[in-house]
Structure 1
Amino acid sequence: MNAKIKSLLQQVALLVVGSLSASAVLAQAQAQAQAQAQAYPSRPITFIYGYPAGSVSDIAWRSIVQEASKRLGQPIVFENKPGANGRIGLDTVMRAKPDGYTLGNFNNSQLVVSPLIDPKLAIEPGPNYTPIVLGIETYLLMVARQNAPFKNIQELLAYAKANPGKLTAASPGPGTGSHLALAMVSAQTGLDYTMVHYKGAVPAMQGMLAGDIDVMFTDVIAKTYIDSGKIIGLGVSGATRWNLFPGMPTLKEAANLPAFQAMSWQGVLAPPGLPADIVTTLNRAFNEALANAELKARLETAGWSIRGGTAQEAATLIRSETDVYRPIVKAANIKLD
């Protein structure tokens, strides 16, 4: 055979073999990628909770996460990362790799109120984080100190009107649900008060128990103090009465405020760019966990209502609540301290 022809045939053979090898490698890589996608999750997941351990919310989420891990077939490691009213934990999740192995808790204070009062926190669902599911929600209670010169909402409004600038109100911090609920009452009734911000819900409640503060909005931690007569329950912030406080009227009833409703809701989020199939897997696991009868009963006994739903419903609520609170924040001139 001619040497030139023989060399040419060898080169062609090498090209064919190389092409087949490249195709085989590509096919193998695609198969591995598919297997990895189908296998999610294949290792433990980290769940970031941006507040200290021991609160009613912390306890609730530990239970929810434990139940969800059973559905996912992998451990979910619960990690408290407190600081800056949940901002440190939120930032940790938003900066994580979007592979489904870092999740976190969110609430309406973080995703609705904080972006409205902090110009540096311009975040929204999609570009900045991926909502997974709405988890739980609870009402707030408007309460008063034990020896307050009023015993119900109507008396409170009359007292504040007759004593301008004298009423004091507490919140766990600027932009919290308690702060916004008071601002909403003021916007709808003209209630005049002097706001005192504490560094957390526990110090705020201690201030009320000491008689330093007249009124505040708080959560289910007030039940023990209301039942023992140490503080006065004035009204519930939801659309209907609360099963834990059946004798307490809603603010809609007590103050004739048909447009008043202030809820505290929480859910699960992930970094931005999370693949749709992983969102679906996580959403299904958490919805199934929330539907567990034993878990649901425990949460409801602790004062929580179950939400659940799709990831899109969570994003829609975040956007709609932002529109609701924007004028309230502006009218009350609420700013980050």
Structure 2
Amino acid sequence: MPGIPTLSRLSRRTLLAALLATAGALPVAQAQGYPNKPLKVIVTFPPGGVADVLARMVAAPLQDALGQPVVVENRAGSGGNIGGDVVAKSPADGYTLLMSSGGLVSVNPHIYDKMPFDPTKNLTPVASVARVAVFLVVKPALPVANAREFVSYLKANPGKLSYGTPGNGSSPHLATEMLKSMTSTFAVHVPYRGAAPALNDLLAGQIDFAFDPGIALPHVRANRLKLLAIGSPKRSPLFPDVPTVDEATGLKGFDADSYFGFYAPAGTPPAVITRLNTEINKILGSQSAKDRIAALGGEAAAMSPQAFAAKATDDSRRFGALIRERGIKGD
């Protein structure tokens, strides 16, 4: 129309190319200015559990490294789905992170018919923090002296013993289901909202045993609980004289270890993921972090986001088979 300026085809192409280049540069620009406000870490389990301890262990030095506050917030429930959903639906800008056991990604999709988000599509791995073992502990009154006697007692008393876990599908739950499957035994499952309340009832004698993720170890040293075996492929340096379940009972290949780490919403700029991974791995390389993780019976497990994702895929295959066999369902 006369009087209305129009763009030539060349000009339109030039403008479109400029717009696309600008859009592609936005994540880079955001990453370069990152961070310029406080970060929030959502923990999928209650205070006092392994995930909470690890999150707070990393938060303080990460705050120093980034020059911004790092606030830890507990959002427990539904095997980690509640906290995971919050992070999955948060802005993908690196300011909201998730601390969880790897079960959120490798286990929950197998035990929940419907989840409010897809952990493999809506979350992206940031940094692994620790490989955490589980420890077979029993109340002192239980008349067993070692893991072999425990299995025999379990076989002789089907359904009479109870065990506590942080919830359906948690690594302690899967460890016990693995033990029950491999020994053809039965015990009553008592799920809790976290490892800490399960430990409290074990100490009170309300349940008989548990595969504990490490927070019970001070009570083992104080003789308030009996430690019978380690649910890992190798012995713990904290208790070198305590055998693995494999060694103690002949259950070959018993491995119930899990990896805890940080995740971010999918779509978080790669440069931000790299920055967080680098800083967290530096923290894990410090002696204080190694000692703190070792006190939980675990070991620091620094790795790239890609290696962390690959580990979750492997665990998904391994635990998925057990879950289908045992018919495990989410809370």
Could you tell me which of 208, 218, 235 is aligned with 1:214?
208
Paired amino acid for 2:169: G
Alignment partners' CA distance in 2, 1:259 and 1:204: 26
Matched, 1:325 2:319: yes
Paired amino acid for 1:79: E
Alignment partners' CA distance in 2, 1:319 and 1:32: 31
- Could you tell me which residue of structure 2 aligns to residue 137 of structure 1? 131
Could you tell me which of 232, 241, 249 is aligned with 1:238?
232
Paired amino acid for 1:57: A
Worse-superposed segment, 322-331 or 208-217 = 208-217
Alignment partners' CA distance in 1, 2:159 and 2:208: 12
Paired amino acid for 1:77: V
Alignment partners' CA distance in 2, 1:162 and 1:81: 40
Worse-superposed segment, 135-144 or 56-65 = 56-65
Contact 2:31 2:269 in 1 (8 A): no
Contact 1:115 1:123 in 2 (8 A): no
User: Post-superposition shift, 1:153?
Assistant: 1.6
Matched, 1:165 2:167: no
Distance 1:169 1:97, change over 3 A: same
The one-character-per-residue Cα deviations of 1:22-79 (angstroms, maximum 9, x if unpaired) are: 97xx699689845444222233322222333344532332221222233334332333
SS in 2 for 1:127: helix
Contact 2:45 2:194 in 1 (8 A): no
Matched, 1:190 2:184: yes
SS in 1 for 2:283: helix
Worse-superposed segment, 196-205 or 252-261 = 196-205
Contact 2:167 2:193 in 1 (8 A): yes
- Could you tell me which residue of structure 2 aligns to residue 223 of structure 1? 217
The one-character-per-residue Cα deviations of 1:89-113 (angstroms, maximum 9, x if unpaired) are: 2111100111222211121232222
Alignment partners' CA distance in 2, 1:117 and 1:203: 22
Kindly report which structure 2 residues correspond to 1:108-119, keeping only aligned pairs within 5 A, or say none: 108-119=102-113
User: Post-superposition shift, 1:302?
Assistant: 4.2
Contact 2:76 2:193 in 1 (8 A): no
Could you tell me which of 232, 252, 260 is aligned with 2:254?
260
Paired amino acid for 1:43: K
SS in 2 for 1:278: helix
Contact 1:52 1:80 in 2 (8 A): yes
Contact 1:181 1:217 in 2 (8 A): yes
Contact 1:98 1:273 in 2 (8 A): yes
Paired amino acid for 1:47: V
Distance 1:111 1:35, change over 3 A: closer
* Gap regions ≥5 residues in structure 1: 1-7
User: Post-superposition shift, 1:187?
Assistant: 1.9
Alignment partners' CA distance in 2, 1:226 and 1:317: 31
Count of residue pairs the alignment pairs up? 322
TM-score (norm 2): 0.85
Alignment partners' CA distance in 2, 1:251 and 1:158: 14
SS in 2 for 1:135: strand
SS in 1 for 2:232: coil
Contact 2:132 2:260 in 1 (8 A): no
Worse-superposed segment, 125-134 or 92-101 = 125-134
Alignment partners' CA distance in 1, 2:320 and 2:166: 20
Alignment partners' CA distance in 1, 2:88 and 2:211: 30
- Could you tell me which residue of structure 2 aligns to residue 103 of structure 1? 97
Contact 2:137 2:225 in 1 (8 A): yes
Contact 2:79 2:169 in 1 (8 A): no
User: Post-superposition shift, 1:307?
Assistant: 0.5
Contact 2:163 2:188 in 1 (8 A): yes
Alignment partners' CA distance in 1, 2:154 and 2:124: 43
- Could you tell me which residue of structure 1 aligns to residue 197 of structure 2? 203
User: Post-superposition shift, 1:123?
Assistant: 5.8
Contact 1:140 1:217 in 2 (8 A): yes
Could you tell me which of 173, 178, 184 is aligned with 1:179?
173
The one-character-per-residue Cα deviations of 1:100-150 (angstroms, maximum 9, x if unpaired) are: 222111212322222211111286555221111111122111112212122
User: Post-superposition shift, 1:313?
Assistant: 0.9
Worse-superposed segment, 158-167 or 258-267 = 158-167
- Could you tell me which residue of structure 1 aligns to residue 294 of structure 2? 300
Worse-superposed segment, 259-268 or 70-79 = 70-79
Distance 1:254 1:70, change over 3 A: same
- Could you tell me which residue of structure 2 aligns to residue 150 of structure 1? 144
Contact 2:161 2:188 in 1 (8 A): yes
The one-character-per-residue Cα deviations of 1:286-312 (angstroms, maximum 9, x if unpaired) are: 112211233333332343311111111
User: Is the radius of gyration larger for structure 1 or structure 2?
Assistant: 1
* Gap regions ≥5 residues in structure 2: none
